[in-house]
Amino acid sequence: MNELMIQKLTLKDIRFPTSLEKHGSDAMHSDPDYSCAYVILHTQNENLSGHGLCFTIGKGTEVVVKAIETLEHLVKGQKVDGIFNDMSAFWRTLTSHSQIRWIGPEKGVLHLAVGTIVNAVWDLWAKIEKKPLWKLLVDMEPETLVLTIDFRYISDELTKDEALEILRSKRTTATKREKEMIENGYPTYTTSIGWIGYEQSKTRQLCREALANGFNHFKVKVGDCLEDDKERLKLIREEIGYEKFLMVDANQKWDVNQAIEWMKELASFKPLWIEEPTSPDDVVGHSTIAKALNPLGIKVATGEHCQNRILFKQLFQLNGFQFCQIDACRLGGVNEVIAVVLMAAKNNVPVCPHAGGVGLCEYVQHLCMWDYISVSGSLENRVTEYVDHLHEHFEFPVVCKNSRYMPPQSPGYCGQMKKESMEIYEFPDGKYWQNKV
């Protein structure tokens, strides 16, 4: 591996027409086409390549692809050993180019591009080690894992020594939890029942199917019309009862005061959390909402649109949420996810990853398993999103049994898409899109 080098990058814009059946629809995104910017890192060994993606919802994906192209010169020609031996330095190279960072820094389209590349690097690393990513992370010595984190801007909340202490404290009991994951899997919740564009009859049918598949947690989109929300939640409670957990998601629809008043109207349906009640950048607003809703027993969840570890730091410091929802692609790849999960552990905030998008379930299964085995050591109040869409397009699709993610065994990060799927859905020249554009 000493001479293994990233020789070239292949970039693709992959789009699936999920808007046709209203899959993924919510109060802010009525017609999403689940999509991704996709990168392949090629080495001189044709059997070793790293595959990475970032989730998008159609138009604009080409902008992320262009941003990846802009960063390509920082990756091409790099020796793989050099990257792995100092991952935090490689990550900072991508986020801190003296000219390119100006259009970020560490946020927006540029950060999505960074995450796509970094996820591909971790996929390559896990394949070289012949391990699934979760196992690669679990087996890493704490001293090695901490070296992947860029602590700049978060050292006032999490120091290197604190990160090491958290990781070392769980080391001696990790084997027991790893065995538990292999046998039982990691608990999930379903969002597939609750897209805002679904007809009532479809929602009822999906609730019954989810119950039959063992789900105890159900998430519903809200925020477009209060009376419609009440009707939808009433319907779902009729199907699942009040012994199951119900969560609601506004996808950033409301102002702060509007969020508080709207959720007071929905409190009788006993939601566990309100997700993304307002702008993802409004940390103070989230804190205000959380304080106002706490007497009603409603918690705040957010994170899928948090642009970096710095914003998460502020949410922890101002008690802006009670459920931390990391996204495997919105952040700058695995490195930054590790930092946020460790901050969550320090603050005793459960991590409940977002996975409502193409490839996200394949990714986050690794992250939540590593969190349980090596960081939190707890499943209390922890549940990871599961959406039953588009898994058939991946070489190693997620396996969910009795509402639990089962640990993947194939080497890598599981984001590798099937060649035939890319040929059909690559935009705009794929076989599907040729007749549509």
Residues noted as catalytic: 221, 354
Tokens 């994906």, located at residue:
61
Residue bearing tokens 């609730």: 207
**Nearest-angstrom CA–CA distance, 138 and 129:** 13
Q: Give whole-number Cα distances, 31 to 170, 178, 225, 303, 334, in Å.
A: 44, 40, 17, 22, 29
Q: Where do we find the tokens 């705009």?
A: 428
Residues 147 and 142: their CA atoms lie apart, in Å, by 9
Between the alpha carbon of residue 166 and those of residues 16, 53, 175, 207, 346, the distances in Å are: 40, 30, 16, 39, 8
239 burial (CB, 10 Å; 0-12 / 13-18 / 19+) is middle
For residue 267, the 8-state DSSP code is G
Say how many residues make up the chain.
Answer: 437
- Burial of residue 309 (CB within 10 Å: 0-12, 13-18, 19+) is buried
CB 55 within 8 A of CB 358: yes
User: Is the Cβ–Cβ distance between 399 and 408 less than 8 Å?
Assistant: yes
For residues 419 and 101, what is the distance between their CA atoms, to the nearest angstrom? 33
Contact (Cβ atoms closer than 8 angstroms) between residue 297 and residue 313: no
Closest CA to 17 of 428, 362, 377: 428
